[in-house]
Amino acid sequence: MKSIAFFWGIAGVLLLLLFAVYRLAPMALELTERELTVGQWLALGFSIIYMAYAEGYKGFHKAFAPRVVVRALYLKSHPKPMHVIFAPLFCMGYIHATRRRQLVSIGVTLAIICFIFLARTLSQPWKGILDAGVVVGLSLGMMSIGYFLILAKRDPDALDMPAGIPENTSALNNGADGIRAS
């Protein structure tokens, strides 16, 4: 059950991200069928560079990806049936998380939903320009999860990221597996 919890948590998060890339990539690829103006090319370049940095590096690589892996490692060490069933939600910090972690996870999700509704109002090529940046950011995010999985396999103590587990369960952790509970 421990390996299943870990695998399902990571795989579920990656599948969610992959599904988003799968849905957005065709709109971004539509840009290849259009003749873009200089301003649109500049906007495309900005979108890709900005989203690679803001979403891919700052959002995923520095925060989300290592936390997903740390929470999956925690789940592997402390599996509970409901947490295993909902392992992707557990790894993303929606369940069995500190109040702050849950609020941040929900807040980011609501911001993304608002962003999606706003993006739907755009016409091509602007929607494709925006989607190209998002696809790059999400792709970097998936690669970051892979990177932290490799890092954790080599040295689980190398991930110095709090798991965001509620304090009342930190006694279960006791520091024995190198994962900080809060």
Residues contacting 1, CB < 8 A, separation 6+: 79, 84
Q: What is the dihedral of CA 47, 51, 53, 55, to 10 degrees?
A: 170
Query: In whole angstroms, how far apart are CA 98 and each of 16, 62, 120?
Result: 23, 19, 33
Report pTM.
0.85
Residuewise pLDDT in 10s, the chain (182 residues)? 678 999 999 999 999 999 999 999 998 999 889 899 999 999 999 999 999 999 999 999 999 999 999 999 999 989 899 999 999 999 999 999 999 999 999 999 999 999 989 988 999 899 999 999 999 999 999 999 999 999 999 987 788 888 888 875 544 444 434 455 55
- What is residue 47's DSSP assignment? H
Q: Counting Cβ atoms within 10 Å, is residue 114 exposed (0-12), middle (13-18) or buried (19+)?
A: exposed
